[in-house]
Amino acid sequence: MQKEQIFPDVILNPDVGYWQINDNQISWSASFLDIIGCSAQDVHIDLNYFLYTVLEAGQRDIFRYNYFRLLKDGEDFEQSLTLRCKNGILKEFKCKSALKLSQKNGYSNSKIISFIPLKIKPDAHVKDDNFFYRETAEMNSTGSWYVDFIKKRTYWDQETRRIFEYPEDYIPSFKHAASYIAKDHLELAHQLFQQCAAHGKSFKTEIKALTAHQREFWVKAIGKPVYNDQKEIVGLRGVFQDIDDNKLKELSLQKTAEIISSQNKRLFNFAHIVSHNLRSHTSNLSLIMELIEETTDETEKEELLASIKDVSESLNSTIEHLNDVVTIQTRTDQNKVKVNFQDALDLVLKSIISLIIKKDVTIHSDFKQVKSINYIPAYLESIFLNLITNAIKYSQQDRTAIIAIRTYMEDGKTILEISDNGMGIDLEKYGKNLFGMYKTFHRNEDAVGIGLFITKNQIESLNGEIFVESILDHGTTFKIQF
């Protein structure tokens, strides 16, 4: 046979099968064809044919890895293999590449792999274990990895390659490990890795990884140090499990829980209004009626009737507040439109111009950085109105009230900031009630305790957040993140 002749005599042995690879062209020796019970006519001399019909499934990855390392990097390897031989019998072989040998014999461009038969029968249990291990790994989308500090190499099994969407022959990079992790989790990954490498601290975490196609996905990453005989850490090993589906479900569930909890809080406030604020009016009413029935004095009766008017007015305003709260929940479906910050502010200032003149308030606004936003116009106006009138209400008597309003970007989100130089608020004491309904903290006649409650609810119903910072006697800054 023609092909036979290119194999060097020195290593020719009838019991041993040989492969010779010349520039990606594989040739199999007659002895190898004989081992696997095929003739040159009915066999595809091809790596995949070997991997999928001859080689035991559990050994595919390692062999493929070694094979490509040999071809690409010229790294010799040696491993045990189980092959399906003549009549389907499984036999164990020692597989060895002999790059150096072939070079020595002048075959500088060709690589030789030999398959030396071993006398022992393959261990059925080990074989089964491998099979089950592989199945388990595949079903759990769990791949393993190993980072070797000495050789400065990273090794991945086939499953890791699959979940990271890299081709089967991909060789992971030792230097550019950062390219496998999503940008916003790089620091966490770096920290865990360093802790493990330097102090032997194992890690088990959920982290966002990055596939070959730059797709972000969640993995559970477990890592442990690998020690040499001197108890030095020489590498790390561990597994990656693709948990993207579950994690996304978990995150969306978490989001839903947050929405429910905020709605629940609003409901609770309703219950509170009904239980307390509406009841206080009705109980006053019934007390007045009781007094009217008892008294015979006409002037007193008239006086009592006049107080019914007071109750009716308070009842009205409570119901108005209730209505304000209800509309927040129903309005959120409304379409957002592009709103200009300056326009919305001008509209609000126009409506309170007499208050501004009376209290001699200075208002600075700067919307250069972010000029407009997609929002419900009425909400933006209500936010401006509530925070500005609050700032005026709680301004310090002995100095000119100055309110500074500006917009800017932070972490990719639009921020609206409204600061004043007013009396400030003791956040340690009142912080937790600041945005609550009917909570007032100042001895101020027009303190109603509804504005901030409404503002917070409007902002949150559109997935935003409101923060406050304050120094007593210096002023307060409200920061709205849209």
Residues that bind another protein (CB under 8 A): 271-272, 275-277, 279-280, 283-284, 286-288, 290-291, 294, 300, 307, 310-311, 314, 438-443, 447, 449
Instruction: With beta carbons less than 8 A apart as the criterion, state whether 437 and 445 touch.
Output: no
Beta carbon of residue 449, minimum distance to another protein (angstroms, whole number): 7
Residue 338's alpha-carbon distances to 54, 344, 374, 377, 412, in angstroms, are 66, 11, 4, 8, 18
Beta carbon of residue 390, minimum distance to another protein (angstroms, whole number): 15
Beta carbon of residue 273, minimum distance to another protein (angstroms, whole number): 11
Nearer to another protein, 224 or 439 (CB): 439
Beta carbon of residue 304, minimum distance to another protein (angstroms, whole number): 8
Determine whether 96 is exposed, middle or buried from the number of CB atoms within 10 Å of its CB (0-12, 13-18, 19+): middle
Beta carbon of residue 430, minimum distance to another protein (angstroms, whole number): 9
Nearer to another protein, 213 or 429 (CB): 429
CB atoms within 10 A of CB 431: 12
CB atoms within 10 A of CB 88: 7
Helix (H, G, I), strand (E, B) or coil at 443: coil
Token pair, residue 305, equals 């009737």
Nearer to another protein, 146 or 438 (CB): 438
Beta carbon of residue 264, minimum distance to another protein (angstroms, whole number): 15
> Which amino acid is located at 37 in the chain?
G
Nearer to another protein, 45 or 291 (CB): 291
Residue 213's alpha-carbon distances to 15, 53, 163, 220, 259, in angstroms, are 46, 31, 11, 19, 33
**Cα dihedral: 292, 296, 302, 303 (round 10):** -70
Nearer to another protein, 365 or 433 (CB): 433
| Rounded distance between C-alpha atoms, residue 9 and residue 30, angstroms | 14
Nearer to another protein, 284 or 342 (CB): 284
